[in-house]
Amino acid sequence: MDWRTGRLPLKGLLVVDWSVFWAGAYLGMMLHDLGAEVVKVESPYNWDPMRTILDVNPGARGAQQALPPEERCNLNQHFNEWNRGKLSLAVALEREEGRRVLLDLLAKADIFIENHRPHVKEKLGLAYEDVRRVRPDIIYLSISGFGQHGPERDALALGSPVELASGLFSLNGYHGQPVPAKTGFSYADPVSALVALGAILLALRQRRQSGQGRFIDIAMRDALSFGIGSAFVDWAINGRERPRLGNRHPTYAPQGVYRTYGPDEWIAISVRNDQEWQALVRLMGSPEWATDPELATAEGRRRQHDLVDQHLERWTSQHCARALEAALQEAGIPAGAVLDYRQLRLDPQLNARGMTQEVQHPLFGTEVRTRSLWQRGPCSQPIDRPAPCFGQHNRYVLREIVGYSEHEVHRLEEEGIIASSIHPTPQHD
Amino acid sequence: MTNNLPLSHALADVLVLELSRTWAAAFAGRLLADAGATVVLVEPADGHPLRHEGPFLQDHPHPEASASHLFVNAGKRSLALDLPAQAHLLLPLLRQAHAFVTDVPAEELDSSGLSWPRLHQENPRLVMTRVTPFGDTGPYRRYQGTNLVCLALGGQMKVTGDPGLPPLSNAGAQAEYQGGLAAFAGTVANLLLAEETGEGDYLDLSIQDVVANNLEGRSLTFNLGVMAQRSGLCPSAVYGVYPCADGWVFVNAVSPSLWERLKAAIGLPQLDDPRFASQASRLAHNDELQAIIASWTVSMTSDELRQLMRQGYPLTVAETVASLLEGEQWRQRCYVHSVRHPQAGEVPVLGPLWEHPPEWSPRPAPLLGEANGELLGDGDRQG
């Protein structure tokens, strides 16, 4: 891949993104980063709720009160983060003529992604069989919580709740504690987005060979459970659910998160072998507690892990996390400050890899956006455009991509089939 | 549903070499194998490090009986070599291969004659993916990283756990899993390009980059100065984990329509109180609301709540490893395969994450060096 020469694997492909919330939006963005044109499709009556569900614009225009939905829908910093680079088509899918418009677009598309519950797309006449009729080789990907069939097909699913359903929640938690824990954000979404991306790429390869498209059914729960796949083997061979390890490791010892100087400042340290342990002891100035012969082996350190943690934290808490990280790394010991989001933005490594750049959003102004994951380093791939405002590209999409006449587009506008603002009801406040 | 072969056969004509030491590259190899590729896992003579990580059958350490290995290396072939001394034996294989996935430090690859420029010259259509804690460039490129360190430096750990307790890693090797998923997708993307142009690419993936990329709320900090905090099990009464009679349940009523559905599921008249009439008033009376919802959840069993969940009420029941293996949903999806391993016996292996024929099953994780004879010929047989 090389964006500078336009060498991108999905160049020339058209994606229609009818997804809501995060997983599908992130997937669509990654497809764009790999070269595809991505059209985000929403309805003025049912837009992506990410635009409005939370008012995350307390600083926007100095507003103290929540902005009304029709204003905040173009400013939402969640929506704008995960939809950058896309075009927006706003069409009333609930009306037969609106559905026709979408099908005309799909007739030109290579990939269709969505994450509505099965009955929603069936009711709207946008199920795989409907779309296949207008585009036989379409790759139609659905992300759902639990899959398109089976007793749990209609269950609601957002990323955090799905973590409970995956088994990951049960294994999470502080070391030795009876209470489980959930990841502090909607972890199933990005994991499912990456799985879905891989599946689409596989389907594209098959389409090249066979000329045929397919339906792809990705379940968020399955994607999370796969990441703890060894726990299922453990259950079968040992008849137990693995005890909670928290920040510890099955073999590395010590491993943990230790308080450093400053409020809520921490460092993660992993000691993978005896050599790294000896290096750590030297770095601490060989205190008497650390020279106990029992601690010379990983087995001994695992036995005494609580005690080692206490001593270690007494040492780490006197130092600043990043200075300590540098000293530990200098000594060859894996260590990293536990970064908050503000520190993340300033991290020298992420910056050297080109993680972010500023883009100009027509209504919000300067936004910091995250670049493609696929080309990082000194020549990381720049962002071509910010997230679209609602319906911003109706005209472009219908004229240039679908091939409608000016007259036809005008009529659709007049009749409210396409729209450039949302139509909220009190339900949406 | 189509006449295509299932996605579990999409890479049936693809040969992958995986030279890995930990989870990320191993996950990538596993996913490629689940897509039908022939994946050769190159191991040191004493076995892949995950063979030594456990947990082990009956807790007796044994390189053929580690649950980590039995899961993540299922579907692969094993080539055991005395590394780095025998690394040159990989060149003939890499001349035939389509993809090379590794987590080995660049310096070691260089000294083993496996640098990208060399491989690109030997086999121009080969794609190579190196997935490492910090990538090839930048001031931390030589830093030592583990799963925990990447979670810390990628920002995911600071927001996980209880507000009064230290930041918490989630279970398993989640930073590495995310890196492995990205390495898998990136490798297939480059295979598409290589097949189109006849020329392979090199992909440099940093796990820290992937972890930071997968972070939900960073834009609010970067653009609005709003900081995410650790919020424990129950960030708010309408979005959080509650105890039930025999487990846990997630209650999600963040929108007005979800609130109405939650009320219908719970059916308690107290919830029609004006204090809970709007989103804002529910937040203002968070603790009272939480107490009412909790009084209901603790009266319900997981089975009762699961029935409500299946009807589309905004409740999600916590499953355990055991309840998932026994559950009807996975049975219908054919997601768990009972795989007979010559030393560990019958083990449940999950996968693939996409469509596969009902009779599909992964090959068991390979015995150490089981493919040496086949891949190297008798002259170089080893292990």
Q: Give the residue among B188, B98, B161 at the shortest CA–CA distance from A183.
A: B161
* CB within 8 Å: A237 and B320: no
Is B4 close to A212, i.e. CB distance below 8 A? yes
Q: How confident is the model at residue A7 (pLDDT cuts 50, 70, 90)?
A: very high
Q: Quick one: pLDDT at residue A65?
A: 66
Contact between residue B62 and residue B358 where contact means Cβ atoms under 8 Å apart: no
Please compute, for residue A238, the number of CA atoms within 13 A of its CA located in the half-sphere on the CB side.
22
Side-chain-side CA neighbours of A268 within 13 Å: the count stands at 29
**Among B45, B31, B39, B28, residue whose Cα is nearest residue B103:** B28
Mean pLDDT confidence for A281-289: 98
Q: Give the separation between CA A34 and CA A111, rounded to whole angstroms.
A: 13
Token pair belonging to A389: 């405002």
More confident position, A55 or B15: B15
Of B306, B346, B354, B347, the C-alpha closest to B327 is B306
Locate all alpha helices (DSSP H) within A10-58, ordered by sequence.
23-33
Q: How many CB pairs below 8 A link A and B? A: 485
**B chain contacts of residue A372, beta-carbon cutoff 8 Å:** none
The reply to whether residue B225 touches residue A59, judged by beta carbons under 8 angstroms, is yes
- To the nearest whole angstrom, how far is the Cα of B373 from the nearest Cα of chain A? 29
| A194, A363, A374: best to mutate for the B interface, most B CBs within 10 A | A194
3-state SS class at A50? helix
| Cβ-nearest to B309 among A155, A216, A237 | A155
> What residues of chain A lie within 8 A of the CB of B173, using their CB?
227
pLDDT at position B1 = 42
Burial A350-377 (b: 16+ CB within 10 A, else e): bebbbbbeebebeebeebbbbbbbbbbb
How near does any CA of chain A get to the CA of B379, in Å? 35
Measured between beta carbons, which residues in chain B are less than 8 angstroms from residue A59? 224-225
Nearest CA in chain A to B302: A165
Distance CA B136, CA B203 (A): 10
* Residue B176 CB neighbour total at 10 angstroms: 30
Provide the percentage of residues in chain A whose pLDDT is more than 70.
96
Q: Cα separation of B377 and A404, whole Å?
A: 63
Q: Which of chain B's residues have a Cβ under 8 Å away from the Cβ of A266?
A: 152, 158, 166-167
Q: How far is A142 from chain B (nearest CA, A)?
A: 11
The residue among A236, A184, A312 whose CA lies nearest residue B161 is A184
**How far is B234 from chain A, CA to nearest CA, in Å?**
9
- How close, in Å, is residue A381 to chain B by CA atoms? 13
Going by DSSP bridges, is the β-strand pair B202-206/A335-337 parallel, antiparallel, or unpaired? unpaired
Nearest chain A alpha carbon to B248: A164
Judge: B72–A230 Cβ closer than 8 Å, yes or no: yes
Residues in B touching A147 (Cβ below 8 Å) = 329, 332-333
| Residue B136 to residue A56, Cβ atoms within 8 A | no
* pLDDT tens-place string over residues A166-177: 999 999 999 999
Helix (H), strand (E) at residue A18: strand A14-18
State whether B223 and A373 contact (CB < 8 Å).
Answer: no
Rounded CA-CA distance B93/B85 in Å is 16
- Determine the pLDDT at residue B381: 45
- CA–CA dist B242, A237 (Å, integer): 31
Closest CA to A163 of A147, A142, A183: A183
Reduced to 3 states, what is the DSSP secondary structure of residue B44? strand
Tokens read off for B161: 């756990």
Query: In chain A, which residues have their Cβ closer than 8 Å to the Cβ of B340?
Result: none
How many Cβ atoms from other residues are within 10 Å of residue A329's Cβ?
18
Contact between A191 and B59 using a beta-carbon 8 Å cutoff? no
Chain A segment 248-277 residues within 8 A of B by beta carbon are 249-252, 255, 257-259, 266-270, 272
Cα distance between the two ends of chain B: 45
Instruction: Return the pLDDT at A429.
Output: 45
The helix/strand/coil state of A20 is coil
How close B222 comes to chain A (CA, Å)? 6
**Does pLDDT of A235 surpass 90?**
yes
User: Distance (Å, rounded) from C-alpha B101 to C-alpha B87?
Assistant: 15
List chain B residues with CB under 8 Å of A54. Answer: 254
- Residue B104 carries which DSSP code? S
Q: Which residue from A214, A222, A233 is facing B4, i.e. has the nearest CB? A: A214
**Tokens representing residue B315 in the block:** 């409740």
A128: left (phi over 0), alpha (psi -120 to 50) or beta: alpha
> Which residues in B lie closer than 8 A to residue A170 (C-beta atoms)?
318-321
Across the interface, of B138, B227, B329, the residue whose CB is closest to A352 is B138
A347 in B contact zone (CB under 8 Å)? yes
Instruction: With beta carbons less than 8 A apart as the criterion, state whether B207 and B222 touch.
Output: no
Nearest beta carbon to residue A150 from set B241, B255, B332: B332
- Using the structure block, give the residue that is written with the tokens 């496996």: B114
Q: Which two tokens stand for residue B224?
A: 């609005």
How confident is the model over A337-343, as a mean pLDDT? 97
Cβ-nearest to A233 among B70, B185, B279: B70
Give residue A178's pLDDT: 94
Out of B31, B167, B318, the one facing A266 most closely (by C-beta) is B167
With contacts defined as CB-CB under 8 Å, which chain A residues touch B319?
164-167, 170
Determine what percent of chain B falls in helix, strand and coil, rounding each to the nearest 5. 40, 15, 40
How far apart (Å, rounded) are the C-alpha atoms in residues B252 and B250?
6
The answer to whether the Cβ–Cβ distance between B222 and A368 falls below 8 Å is: yes
A14 bridge partner residues: A37
Residue B43: closest CA among B25, B56, B60: B25
Q: Test B55 with A348 for CB contact under 8 angstroms.
A: no
User: What pLDDT, on a 0 to 100 scale, did the predictor assign at position A57?
Assistant: 60
pLDDT at A328 over 90: yes
CB < 8 Å from B in window 76-135 of A = 77-78, 80-81, 117, 128
Select the residue of A218, A266, A353 nearest B166 (Cβ to Cβ). A266
Read off the pLDDT of each residue in A135-143 and give the average, rounded to a whole number: 98
Nearest to B80 by CA among B376, B379, B378: B376
pTM of the model: 0.97
Of B27, B154, B224, the CB nearest to A57: B224
A199 to B345: CB separation less than 8 angstroms, yes or no: no
In A, residues 372-391, which contact B (CB 8 Å cutoff)? Answer: 373-374, 376-378
- pLDDT tens for each residue of A71-104: 889 999 999 999 999 999 999 999 999 999 999 9
Given A172, A236, A348, which is nearest B348 (Cβ)? A236
pLDDT, averaged in runs of 10, over chain B (383 residues): 80 98 98 98 97 93 97 98 94 97 96 97 98 98 97 98 96 98 98 98 98 95 91 94 98 91 96 93 95 98 97 96 96 96 96 95 97 81 43
Residues B250, A270: C-beta atoms closer than 8 Å: no
Tell me phi and psi for residue A377, to 5 degrees. 125, -160
Which residues of chain A from 386 to 425 reach within 8 Å of chain B, CB to CB? Answer: none
Q: Can you tell me the distance from the alpha carbon of B354 to that of A206, in angstroms, rounded to the nearest whole number?
A: 14
